[in-house]
Structure 1
Amino acid sequence: MPEHRVLVTGAAGVVGKLMRPRLIRSDRILRMLDVRPLEPAAPGERVELLTGSVTDPEVMASACRDTDAVIHLGGISREDSWERILEVNIAGTQTVLEAARAAGVPRVVLASSNHSVGFRRIGEAGPDGLPADSSPRPDTYYGVGKAAMEALGSLYHWRFGMDVTCLRIGSCFERPADVRQLSLWLSPDDCARLLESCLAAKEPDYRVLWGVSANTRSVVSLREAAEIGYESLDDAEAFAGEVPAGVLPEFLGGAFCDTPLGQSNPL
């Protein structure tokens, strides 16, 4: 069986930690990269652990060498100063894509966010939910960074033929924490299923997909993700009884829409 190597940036982050055990396969080596220390490999775990920043061209050139795909989760995961968002999330994404291009990596998955369209009104698209490729309407500098990530992914597909999928992730945690997340939750298992669908897509393309589970209260469309084989098996409604009472915010981005620009905020 051919062996494949998949590079995962941001491997010490929330989603990176959740994905590490879920992306293990007998024919795959996971190459994990983060600026922070990573947990040592468990017995039998086929991983390569790298320390470095996505903003460093030399680090990324080395990380992309002999790699079949990149899952780019690295970056600042909340609102921050414009300078930091520009350096890490925007320029860092370009560094990742350019290193992948130079190394001949054919496929990249970019972790975008619902905050790239955070000022879309919930339910504005009707009963089928907000389409995955709705034009950007970011709610923060962080959201602008994710919109720029999507634009860079488009550039590298159309100019260089790279297969690029941008995942507008809702909220990927073990459990939904509030009413908004009952609509936008992406279970860790479903996140892994979605990533596997992205890695197995047959035809090179540029795609923007929603990264959510098939939630009863979903406000976004999973039609586009289903077209590449994604099938969600989870629903945030299973945790509805544990979630504090509340109402959906007006805008998709929730509290991010009220966050002062440039000020670091909690997840």
Structure 2
Amino acid sequence: MKKIVLTGAHGALGTVLRGPLSRMADTLLSTDIAGPPKTLMDNETWVHADLSDYAQIAPLLEGAEMVVHFGAIVDEKPFEELLGPNFVGAYNIWEAAHQHGLRRVVYASSIHAVGLWETNAGIDTEAPQRPDTFYGLAKCFAEDLGRMYWEKRGLEAVCLRILSCTPEPQNARALGTWLSHRDLVQLVTRAIETPQTGFTVAFGVSGNDRAPVSNARVPFLGYRPKDNAENWAPSLLAMARPDPMDPAQACLGGPFASVPLGESGVAGIRAMSTGERDGT
């Protein structure tokens, strides 16, 4: 490809993706409200921009074939704080992609779009949305936006519902929800390289024996995860055992399923295990 745009490029997952994406295009345009990092890839351009400002975002997509949209506030906040970056920002990306004739948006959705589903429900990608927070609601909004832009304007979208993406699984819950960095890169690569996707939802989860969700309906993406959290089971199960009556343990959204609306879910995750980063 001539050009790929990556939003949220200074975030934890955007940082993982910059190198692989730079090798897939002549030019990688990375953008974030933070940064730039100390070093850039040889073919990478960095632009500081606010997702909530269409005038700043739209010009960045000119000449691109695809945009990998990972930019957002990555925690539960009051609705008013999420409105600009997470809701309006998603609209700005899709509208700019349409205006500049892009082929596809690859979007970092989240398990929190379905976070109030029970962990043991065994849902697949056709399960109805059940957001657990305003943050999860923003992911539902962007998914619906993606479906509408595909059906009304022919702009493809692959929405990746990321579970828990960390270098290693951090607690007993992550035995099911973990997405390794290697599998994240593979999943995003498949979302870009698949010839035709239309509107597609896929779960961002590694090949865990205890994975609580299924990608069986989207085999055409060719995503075949390489990693399995079960390798960490002995040490993780030696930690505090989950309480099956606690929504933070019984629902897919983890602590996001139990916090009051507008209050941090990441804080609950940190209480479960130091340093875990859930979703995106």
TM-score, normalised by the number of residues in structure 2: 0.88
Query: Retained in 2: the 8 A contact 1:76–1:89?
Result: yes
Deviation at 1:220, TM superposition (A): 0.7
| 2:17 partner letter | M
| 1:201 partner letter | T
Cα shift readout 1:103-137 (whole Å, capped 9, x = no counterpart): 11111011110011111011213xxxx10231111
Aligned equivalent of 2:262: 262
Cα shift readout 1:201-223 (whole Å, capped 9, x = no counterpart): 21240011111111111111022
Rounded to whole Å, the distance in 2 between the matches of 1:238 and 1:226 is 25
Deviates more, 1:223-232 or 1:198-207: 223-232
Whether 2:181 is the aligned partner of 1:191: answer no
Deviation at 1:245, TM superposition (A): 4.1
- Point out 4+ residue stretches in structure 1 off by more than 3 angstroms: none
What is the Cα-based RMSD across aligned positions, in Å?
1.6
Deviation at 1:41, TM superposition (A): 3.5
Deviation at 1:4, TM superposition (A): 2.5
Aligned equivalent of 2:60: 63
Whether 2:229 is the aligned partner of 1:231: answer no
- Indicate the SS of the match to 2:127: coil
Rounded to whole Å, the distance in 2 between the matches of 1:28 and 1:257 is 42
Aligned equivalent of 1:36: 34
Cα shift readout 1:39-94 (whole Å, capped 9, x = no counterpart): 1434x632111101111111211110111100100011110011122222111100
| 2:241 partner letter | G
1:70-109 matches, within 5 Å, as: 70-109=67-106
Cα shift readout 1:173-205 (whole Å, capped 9, x = no counterpart): 111111111101111111111111111121240
1:1-267 matches, within 5 Å, as: 3-25=1-23, 27-42=25-40, 45-125=42-122, 130-243=123-236, 244-247=239-242, 249-266=249-266, 267=277
TM-score, normalised by the number of residues in structure 1: 0.92
- Indicate the SS of the match to 1:143: helix
Rounded to whole Å, the distance in 2 between the matches of 1:10 and 1:258 is 27
Aligned length: 260
Distance 1:262 1:237, change over 3 A: same
Question: Gaps (5+ residues) in structure 2?
Answer: 267-276
